[in-house]
Amino acid sequence: QSVLTQPPSASGAPGQRVTMSCSGTTSNIGSNTVNWYQQFPGTAPKLLIYSDNQRPSGVPDRFSGSKSGTSASLAISGLQSEDDANYYCAAWDDSLNAVVFGGGTKLTVL
Amino acid sequence: QVQLVESGGGVVQPGRSLRLSCAASGFGFRNYAMHWVRQAPGKGLEWVAVISYDGANEYYADSVKGRFSIFRDNSKDTLYLQMNSLRDEDTAVYFCARTKTIEALIDCFDFWGQGSLVTVSS
């Protein structure tokens, strides 16, 4: 059971906009910034969004992050086939003194 | 360019020990906190441990506390994870990862190694 809650799956057609949520508590998302990672099967995760809504260089502006209270969201606009991957949210938890991850959302591009 | 290369994985019996290494290059290793993150087969990511840039501070996930130890040798640009009393549920790919901001303990992971598979089985 992950500390952060993500829907297990999401889907969308090419060109569409999809959003995925990440729900936490006051000790993690409510107190610290949220980071998002993209992972393809058999490969290491890649940093996608950091500090709630910042994109590392090289990440397309189709990807955006937001946060409100104890929940965060990742949005992908202009969906492309190469976005078909697993997405994980993460944050520091002040009560656990640990990094906590969501269980991940598997995005399927139809 | 930044590179992180894990090694030391393999098959080990329950109750035994194993040490993973993560060799860093392409950046000032001594200036960055480092983490271990694992992923069981077919499962999601699970954070394991963090060590500060100077080795003075460490934090562990409850699932490994008291059994695993994270340490580093800044003279060798290498991070380690000593795993003792291994259990079946420790079977996973173990990734080392760098924090993004110099000297920050709590930060996102901007570079990851390719992972090292640890299989605990009798």
| Coil, helix or strand at residue A43 | coil
Distance CA B104, CA B110 (A): 12
User: What is the rounded average pLDDT of the residues A26-41?
Assistant: 97
Q: What value does the mean pLDDT of chain A take?
A: 97
Q: Which of B46, B108, B110 sits opposite A101 (nearest CB)?
A: B46
Chain B, window 27-46: residues with a beta carbon less than 8 angstroms from a chain A beta carbon: 35, 37, 44-46
Does A92 reach chain B within 8 Å, measured CB to CB?
yes
For residue A52, the tally of other CB atoms under 10 A from its CB is 18
Run of H or E residues at A37: strand A35-39
Record: contact B44-A103, CB cut-off 8 A: yes
Q: Give the distance between the most distant pair of CA atoms in chain B.
A: 42
* pLDDT per residue as tens digits for the range B76-115: 999 999 999 999 999 999 999 999 999 998 899 999 999 9
Mutating which of B39, B62, B108 best tests the A interface, going by the most A Cβ atoms within 10 A?
B108
Question: In this structure, what is the dihedral angle of CA atoms A49, A52, A57, A58, given to the nearest 10 degrees?
Answer: 30
Contact predicate B7/B115, CB 8 Å: no
- The predicted pLDDT at position A72 comes to 98
- Cβ neighbours for B112, distance < 8 A, ≥ 6 positions apart: A44, A45, A46, B4, B37, B95, B96, B97, B98
Total number of residues shown for chain B: 122
- The predicted pLDDT at position A1 comes to 84
Residue A1 tokens read as 């059971």
